[in-house]
Structure 1
Amino acid sequence: MSEPETLAEAALLITCLRGQPFTIPSNIDWHTLQALAAENGVLLPVCRSLSEAGAAIPDFFASAARECGVAAEIFSAELESLLKEFAAQGIDALPLKGPVLAESLYGDAAMRQCNDLDLLVRGGDYPRAEALLLRLGFAASSEIDDYHRRFVRNGVPVELHFGIAPSRYFPFDLDGVWRRSAEGTFRGSPMRVMSDDDLVLFLCLHGLKHGFSRLIWILDVARALNRIRTGDYKALIQRARREGQEAWLLIGCEVVREMLPRQLPPGMDAAIAESPRMAERARRVVAQMFAEDPKVINEIRAFYLQTERSARRRWRRRLSYLAPTPMDDQWMERYRISRNLVPVLRPLRVLQKYGISRVWRTLFPPAA
């Protein structure tokens, strides 16, 4: 589908998400609208918006939305079962995204498309949690990296996390996340729930990691921002600044401003205005994000280096790319190579995998 062919459908899609009054053009291509909504993970909220507006929704469109709802229920039932199993073993589990996020942000576990389940456990509990999944019939579908591993059973993927994201690129205060988390339940099964502030920062990180390339990730941030009960957005920005996350937060807010302008809370808008320089940098990054080659702009390492103000931290991040990963360790063990050679072989492996041009753009991206 070329851009001119999808312009009307894309405009209607975004208007539905903005919650503004709209009329449906007589020549709208419903198949294109459905494909765009599904691709962006917003078929369910768009279908609800169209229904509330009294639109005559074609059967195939409504059927596709119902199928998404059925799939969401399958994931919800799986999550409920897993939370019970984890609780029985005394393992705290904190669901990331998925049905819990749908329930908290959209009021219904079946109102947000779900492709997998993400469960965060404490680092010390990870071995027991992994062993539990294997006993329950899950099979590992990836090697373990520095923050998670993927498993699958009966077509349902589960990502078991002991970290939020690669710590060398996106530092996140995990101890603080657990300390600030609260007890909660999902359909009667116990779980831990992120604080409102942590949820906003996590969703900004998640969206940034993927270049905010799907509308659902933008809608998630907008809804999470509006759930902050204290309304103290200035304190949120100050905390993000202390923890090196201010850039993620402001980029997330500017993406919301760009796509869903009326959904950026006025209090957040006022707090952002007190950081004009960082806000301007965030706006430039967002402009690049929507205008440039996604293969370049979606590179999370480049994003970090574009927005990090401290030269010392920028160089620390650059040098951290040369540190061995678990995959490097496995490769060296497989070929019986001494770890003393890591400082030499790691840079060569990076260059071989990505090429000098991409490595250079990552380490020295255009200034934001």
Structure 2
Amino acid sequence: MNSTLAQTAVFLGRPKPVLPDWLPAAADSLGVSALVFQRQCMPDSREPLCRRLLERDRELRAITLLRTRELARVVAALAQDTIPCLPIKGAATGQILYSQPHLRECRDTDLLVAPSAFEAALIKLGQLGYRQLPASQGKELGHAVDLVHTDPAGYIHHLDLHWRISSNPVLRETLDFDSLAQSARLGLPCRHHQFLLACMALLDSRSDSPRLTTFYDLDRLLRTLDDADCRHIVDFCRQTRLFCLVNNAVAVTRELFPGPIPPLLQALPEDFQEPARAWLSDNPWLRLWAELRYRPDRSARLAFLREHLFPPTDYLAARFHTRSRWRLALHSVGRLLDGGRKRLRPQRRAPWI
């Protein structure tokens, strides 16, 4: 399952009619178990693989109910302290784009607050029983903190509290909380903002293979965007010089999931001087150069390098399960060598380029 095209073929129901033995495990790792069950199996099927997918589907339904209830508790508590917030990413798309929220599997819940309200939100979440995990990144590299909470049912909730949408120097100032909240509908980002956030998730992905669910979100959004939404997207691209962001996302989405493209998004120009284009490169050194070039000043560049090369000690101790200074030093050296080896022998970062 190294190829995104192969992953999509399985997701769309190919090959058929025989279900491969590895399908349930692959679907679970990709976060599409419920969608594969809906597409490939009949509810009353007695086939062993379908029964495994059915069990996972039922589990996801229960988990989604717990997460929805917990999110409602968090949002209500923040509202009591006049701390506005917006669910983003899967927590939002699952409620709007899918017939049943559990079909959009999420590993955590992403919540965005204004930077000025971030500390107050963090304090309030602590009062609600949330515990902050050691951060792997600082203020320059990071854009969210990870929190966990165990509910009375014993389920562990993972919450990402964002103070900005991205740490990417080109993306992080393009959409702020106020602009998202101003056009929000029913407490969730509007369609064109959800589309742009999904495009940014692809560009900002730190993994070699962004999750298939993001492409499927984009497919569903492309089928629901109206002319007004598309005009907002075009205006955003003109103001931010991020045409490549949308062009690449639309192209790969339609390669993986064939379907119509709104006419206004078909005519987007190509600007080969766009700052964001560097992040579409396979060359990790070019991406690193772009990260440094587009930081606002020298202190920001130095902070980026420091956070990139030397993560906080608490994070390293939690990751490697040791407090020994010597062991942490050895792990840090090994981490640096591993990162250098990956940069010297880079692999394709993005299967859609």
2:168 and 2:265 mapped to 1: Cα distance? 29
Match of 1:196 among 160, 184, 191: 191
Tell me how far 1:229 sits from its aligned partner. Answer: 2.9
One-letter identity of the residue aligned with 2:287: A
Q: Corresponding residue for 1:75? A: 67
Structure with higher helix content: 1
In structure 2, which of residues 26, 32, 38 is the aligned counterpart of residue 36 of structure 1? 26
**Range moving further from structure 2, 317-326 or 140-149:** 317-326
String of CA shifts for 1:64-113, please: whole Å, max 9, x gaps: 22112222222111111111111111111100123432110113222211
SS in 2 for 1:118: strand
- Per-residue displacement from partner, 1:303-331 (whole Å, max 9, x unpaired)? 994xxxxxxx9833597672315957978
> Shift of residue 50 of structure 1?
2.2
- Whether 1:302 and 2:287 are equivalent positions in the alignment is yes
Task: Work out which of the residue numbers 218, 224, 228 in structure 1 matches 2:225.
Answer: 228
The structure-2 alpha-carbon separation of the partners of 1:270 and 1:90, relative to structure 1 and needing over 3 Å to count, comes to same
Amino acid at match of 2:164: G
Look up the SS of the partner of 1:94 in the other structure: strand
Task: State the AA in 1 paired with 2:211.
Answer: R
1:258 aligns to 2:259 (yes or no): no
* Gap change, CA 1:50 and 1:243, over 3 Å in 2: same
The normalised TM-score by structure 2 is: 0.72
Identity of aligned residues (%): 19
**Gap change, CA 1:11 and 1:226, over 3 Å in 2:** closer
Q: CA offset at residue 2 of structure 1?
A: 8.7
Change (3 A) 1:303 1:52: farther
Aligned counterpart, 1:173: 175
What is the CA–CA distance in structure 2 between the aligned matches of 1:129 and 1:269, rounded to whole Å? 37
The SS at the match of 1:106 is: coil
1:322 aligns with 2:315: no
Q: Does 1:245 align with 2:238?
A: no
Matched, 1:208 2:208: no
In the TM superposition, what is the alpha-carbon distance from 1:175 to its structure 2 partner? 5.2
Asked whether the 8 Å contact 1:72–1:112 carries over to 2, the reply is no
Uncovered stretches (5+) of structure 1, i.e. residues with no partner:
17-21, 185-191, 289-295, 306-312, 332-348
Q: Deviations over 1:219-250 (max 9, x none)?
A: 01111222323356365234213213222211
SS in structure 1 of the partner of residue 65 of structure 2? helix
* Residue pair 2:8, 2:212 contacting (<8 A) in 1 also: no
Q: 8 Å contact 2:130–2:148 — kept in the other structure?
A: yes
Mapped partners of 2:129, 2:42: distance in 1: 42
1:145 aligned counterpart, secondary structure? coil
Q: 1:12 to 1:353 in 2, by over 3 A?
A: closer
Q: TM-score, normalised by structure 1?
A: 0.69
State whether residues 72 and 99 of structure 1, in contact with CA within 8 Å, keep that contact through their aligned partners in structure 2.
Answer: no
* Equivalent position amino acid for 1:198 in 2: H
**How many angstroms does 1:13 deviate by?**
1.9
Which aligned pairs between 1:1-368 and structure 2 lie closer than 5 A?
Answer: 10=7, 12-16=9-13, 24-26=16-18, 28-29=19-20, 31-51=21-41, 58-143=50-135, 145-146=138-139, 147-154=143-150, 155-171=156-172, 172-174=174-176, 177-178=179-180, 180-184=182-186, 192-210=187-205, 211-230=208-227, 233=230, 236-262=233-259, 264-267=260-263, 270-272=266-268, 274-275=269-270, 302=287, 305=290, 315-317=293-295, 322-325=301-304, 327=307, 353=336
Contact 1:180 1:195 survives alignment (8 Å) = no
Larger RCO (alpha carbons 8 Å, 6+ apart): 2
Alpha-carbon distance between aligned partners in 1 of 2:263 and 2:211, rounded to the nearest angstrom: 25
In structure 2, what is the Cα distance between the partners aligned to 1:239 and 1:103? 25
Gaps of 5+ in 2: 151-155, 314-331
Between the two proteins, the alignment pairs up a number of residues equal to: 309
CA distance in 2, matches of 1:207, 1:55: 36
Q: Which amino acid aligns with 1:322?
A: R
Instruction: Specify the SS of the correspondent of 1:173.
Output: coil
User: What residue is the counterpart of 1:343 in the other structure?
Assistant: none
